[in-house]
Amino acid sequence: MKLPLLLLVATSFSFAQWGGGGGGGKSINDYKKISVSGREVYVYAPSNLADNSPLLMSFHGMDQDPSYQQSNTHWESVADTAGFVVAYPKGATGYSTWDISGDQDTKWITQIIDQLAKDYKINTKRVYMSGFSMGGMLSYHAMGKIADKIAAFAPCSGYLMMGAGTAQRPVPIFHTHGTSDNVVGYDGLENNLKNYRNQFKCPSQAEVENNHPNSENKATLYTWGPCENGIYVKHLKLEGRQHSPSKADVSDIWNFVKGYDLDGPIGASKPESSASAESSASAPASSASAPASSASVATSSASRERSSSSRSHHRSSSSGTDVASSGSNALPMDPSLRFVSVFRSSDNYIVVANAQGKSITVFNSLGNVVSTTRALGNQQKVYTGAKGVYIVKVGSRTFKTSL
């Protein structure tokens, strides 16, 4: 980005418009300040952190610092529950900005990852990058430089204003942006996202969730996918939000990025050939907790059906079949899920009934996640798409159905 554009953005900032979601909780003083190649990084690790835990890095905007970013996002509140390391790096170039045209900062990010791998034994295949404003621009820039180091990206109120770049690989993206942003205008976002969706061969039409839960703004969630390599692109549109990072968005971001590592969707089977994909579609699921693994995709349909009959039983539930594990490893049913049913509606949607407040995840026959949502009413439309067999996970229960 050229210097005049940086100055334009800098003079557009005003602390009055940085609403944010701060207040309460920990401060940057509860973080450990470390030095990586002579530059500051503030790190938070939960007291009970396990080895091989993920890392999420949150990058501040222009003329800001880690303290401002932390006080508005409070990533530690999610990390304490989910068990991951949080890092707030500090910009070093003029106006406390980031290098979004070269490789000064992307090289430094790889050094941060290496350092935290030594200090906290993080899982280097589960490193996630989020950033606000120019930190969001840096996230997009990093897709073209170090996508082999970052499993998923979550830019907030920032995109490459001189035009989208070329990603090294199809990467998962969760972009949040306010419609009243007058610093990095909302109107320029769609062309940027569309460029990446085209690169990743995403579906042209988004799945739209109106009234997506958000504690600060009326929100609409747009989902494109599955794209190439099973990744998804999502956009959280925040009505009336100005140019501000917010704690209100971090749980949505985490729930998205945590589903990926550098190999793609975690736990998803990878298609080995068209023949194995066909056999996967015809075989019943053999686990109540996840769709078939890559190993089961490689086996024949007949052998899987035989092994499935000895491991699972099926109860009729409208047009969806409830798949429940039996044996010593079976978990007791959550009583609140007792009356859940899954069926296909007349307008060709997969519908979940009697699951108010429960998380719902839909997997296709290859084990890729095609939809995630939360049930808000007595009946929730959760997915419509290509004909085939689908696995629907509602809380701790799993159903098999088809379109």
> In whole angstroms, how far apart are CA 187 and each of 100, 135, 158, 159, 232?
21, 19, 12, 11, 22
**DSSP letters spanning 109-167:** HHHHHHHHHHHH---TTSEEEEEETHHHHHHHHHHTT-TTT-SEEEEES---TT-----
What is d(CA 237, CA 177) in angstroms, rounded to the nearest whole number?
6
C-alpha dihedral (56, 61, 67, 72), degrees to nearest 10: -80
Looking up tokens 């005049």 gives 4
pLDDT at 103: 96
pLDDT digits (tens, 9 = 90+) for 70-88: 999 999 999 999 999 999 9
Name residues whose C-beta falls within 8 Å of residue 273's C-beta, 6 or more positions apart in sequence: none
Q: How confident is the model at residue 367 (pLDDT cuts 50, 70, 90)?
A: confident
pLDDT at 163: 93
Could you give all domains of the chain from N- to C-terminal order, each with its CATH number? 3-265 (3.40.50.1820), 274-402 (no CATH)
pLDDT at 337: 80
Residue scoring higher pLDDT (221 or 398): 221
What is d(CA 179, CA 240) in angstroms, rounded to the nearest whole number?
5
What is d(CA 48, CA 228) in angstroms, rounded to the nearest whole number?
36
Whether the per-residue pLDDT at 331 is higher than 80: the answer is no
pLDDT digits (tens, 9 = 90+) for 148-187: 999 999 999 999 999 999 999 999 999 999 999 999 999 9
pLDDT at 396: 79
Cβ atoms of 299 and 292 within 8 Å: the answer is: no
pLDDT at 198: 97
pLDDT digits (tens, 9 = 90+) for 244-260: 999 999 999 999 999 99
Q: What is the DSSP letter of 248?
A: G
Whether the per-residue pLDDT at 313 is higher than 50: the answer is no
Q: What is the DSSP letter of 319?
A: T
Taking the CA atoms of the chain, what radius of gyration do you get in angstroms?
22
